[in-house]
Amino acid sequence: MIQALDRTPVSALVALAYVTLAFLTDPVAPTFVQLREHGALLPVEVADGTPWRLLSYAFLHDGALHLALNTLALLYFGPRLELSMGSLRFGVLYLLSALGGGLLVCLWNAPDETMVSGGSGALFGMAGATLALGMRAGPHPLQFLEQHHGRSLLGLIAVNLVLGFVFPMISNTCHVGGLFAGFAATWWLLTHPRGRPDRTHRLLQAGLLLLLASVTTYAIVPVARWDHLLLAWERSEEPARRLELRRAFSRSLGQDGLLPEAVLRQRAIVLRHKRTAE
Amino acid sequence: MFPRPRQLAAIALWAIALWPLLLLATHPVSPVTAVALADGAATALGNAALVAVGLGAGLLVAWPPFLPALQVRLQRWRLRARQDPARLDQALAHLQHLDTAAARADVAHWLLDAGRLRDAVPHLRRAIELAPEMVSARFQLGRTLRQLGDRDGAAATLRQVIAAEADHGFGVAALELARVEAEQALGGGEREAMAAALAALRRHEARSGPDREASLLQARLAARVGDRGAMRTALQAAAAPPPAGAHLAPDEALLRARARVALWTWGRA
């Protein structure tokens, strides 16, 4: 076991980070405040000056069971993937998958979505990467469907996505974001294409990097998102600008007309409450 | 000229990537326009995702090996469901009274029928121990080891079968050995071994006629040794339609579907 982890230093390091960081909070049942203080993901917090949460959430866990399940999944997927793609690429994959999961949570920003923590977005990224490697390995991208491990991997992904829909405390948005990020990063950025990379391939790679940069920027400055507009409205002092922001806020909630100021104030209180305690 | 799918994907990716920047640029001028643009993008992306999921599901069903693979699986389930578990119990009870090669082979037979390959192996080994001349048990062991992924064990056992009875099963043992050696060569990646395995498969084909699985292996070996002409010929043989009026068994249909896909993908001139 130790020898195996010695050959896969990044997996070992991430597992160690999971366990170590659990002790920053209560490892068995951490509170909302503890998790928020140590970097759990809340889209409104990311937009309000703490962009590092887009990565830090992937190392924090919401309790012992969450930690145990994710560490086991990491130790199952991580070493195999790290051995096949190399430690540096694996490290980049983990971070990109975590970022992908965090970005989709910020983009989606569902009203019922609370705080997100845990490495499962990145773990889904590893599943996406394994899928991409399997699709690259055969003579045809869909050839892996004919192999047992390809089908069982798809089944594993499907079952976990279904579980995400069944249990409301699981953030499927984060899982889907991580899955797509892991797949796309492995397919276009971290492995070589079958033939010589042509101009279209380079365009796709550049487009992917641009997408990552622009969506990250948008997650940090989400100019069309209701919570950001509400904060901007609260902080703005110029009446004309306040009116514009109020109109934009109303539109972002699907209202064609102008919502009364009282509604905005009430929403602001709810948002403040969501940021401070559950 | 109309762009290819990958070029279209690149254009779509750039458009999506530029959209958040457009929102950031629009917001200082008109926050309402920025929100309207974001809404439009979300709706368009949602619709595109739905269409993509629908197309993906359709393509999966239309994928030639999909339906034959489903048929193979259904056939296995049907066979297992029809199996009478009492036969295995009877064979096991018989074994408790008399441990003979025939009784062991009988137990192994029912276990193999139930899909319990790993459980059948010790019974086959014991049958060979009790009756070393029992070539059929040895052949069954070689075949089972191959199915379990133990290529070295399978090759060694099948060589013993050929040594004992060169034409066992009217050449089926020789074909099985040629397949195992081909898989070993593909796994090892040595050019000489692959060329030798390819020659062995061709010899068998010349003697006993074409076999879809062997043809597919031939195509893989030919592709690895860089003989595109031989690869195409082997794929064409594996993808050949059945004679008029004949019906392909699900296993055969699956092999044919795989060969057709490989022919489209790799067999073009």
Provide mean pLDDT across the span A159-165.
90
Chain A interface with B: residues with Cβ < 8 Å: 139-140, 142-143, 145-146, 200-201, 203-204, 207-208, 210-211, 213-215, 217-218, 221, 223-225, 229, 244-245, 247-248, 251-252
Give the closest of B6, B14, B24 to A221, CB-based. Answer: B24
Among A149-153, A254-258, B149-153, top mean pLDDT goes to B149-153
Query: DSSP letter at A31?
Result: -
Tell me which chain B residues have a C-beta less than 8 angstroms from the C-beta of A215: 17, 20
Question: Would you list the DSSP string of B180-214?
Answer: HHHHHHHHH--HHHHHHHHHHHHHHHHHH---HHH
Indicate the pLDDT class of residue B268, thresholds 50, 70 and 90.
low
Distances (CA, A) of A261 to A229, A245, A249, A265, A269: 13, 11, 11, 6, 12
Decide if pLDDT at B80 tops 90: no
Mean pLDDT of the residues in chain B: 86
Residue A278 has pLDDT above 60, yes or no: no
The total number of residues written for chain B in this structure: 269
pLDDT band at B247 (very low <50, low <70, confident <90, very high): confident
pTM score: 0.68
Query: Inter-chain contact A244–B30, Cβ cutoff 8 Å?
Result: yes
B13 and A211 within 8 Å at the Cβ level: the answer is yes
Structure tokens at A211: 């997408």
Q: What is the pLDDT of residue A69?
A: 93
pLDDT at A139 over 70: no
Query: Which ipTM did the prediction report?
Result: 0.83
| Residue of chain A whose alpha carbon sits nearest to that of B220 | A139
Contact (CB<8Å) B13/A204:
yes
**Cα(A5)–Cα(A163) distance, rounded to whole angstroms?**
30
Place of tokens 């399997």: A134
Question: Over chain A, what is the mean pLDDT?
Answer: 88
Which pLDDT does position B74 carry in this prediction? Answer: 86
Supply the DSSP string of B32-51, one letter for each residue.
HHHHHHHHHHHHHHHHHHHH
Proportion of chain A above pLDDT 70, given as a percent: 94
Q: Per-residue pLDDT averaged across B115-134, rounded?
A: 91
Q: Can you tell me the mean pLDDT for A151-159?
A: 89
The whole-angstrom separation of Cα A175 and Cα A161 is 8
Look at residue A277 in the predicted model and tell me its pLDDT.
66
Give the residue from chain A lying closest to B32, CA to CA. A248
- Quote the pLDDT of residue A215: 95
Cβ neighbours of B32 in A, within 8 Å: 244, 247-248, 251
Question: Quick check: is A120 catalytic?
Answer: yes
Whether A201 is catalytic: no
Structural tokens at position B234: 């082997």
Q: pLDDT value at position A1?
A: 63
Q: Is the dihedral of CA A198, A199, A200, A204 positive or negative?
A: positive
Q: Give percent of chain A with pLDDT exceeding 90.
A: 46
- In percent, the amount of chain B with pLDDT more than 90 equals 23
Q: How crowded is residue B89: how many other Cβ atoms within 10 Å of its Cβ?
A: 11
> What confidence tens digit (pLDDT) does each residue in A75-127 have?
988 998 999 889 999 999 999 999 999 999 998 876 666 789 999 999 999 99
pLDDT score for A140: 65
Which residue in A has a C-alpha nearest to residue B223's C-alpha?
A139
Residue A25: what pLDDT? 87
Choose among B123, B128, B99: nearest CA to B112: B123
* Residue pLDDT, tens place only, A186-219: 999 988 877 777 888 899 999 999 999 999 999 9
Contact B108, B124 (CB under 8 A): yes
Residues A156, A233: Cα–Cα separation, whole Å: 45
Interface mutation target, options A142, A189, A220, A259, chain B, most CBs of B under 10 Å: A142
Residue A98 vs residue B179, higher pLDDT: A98
User: Looking at the predicted structure, is the pLDDT value of residue B194 above 80?
Assistant: yes
Nearest neighbour of A204 by CB, restricted to B10, B26, B265: B10
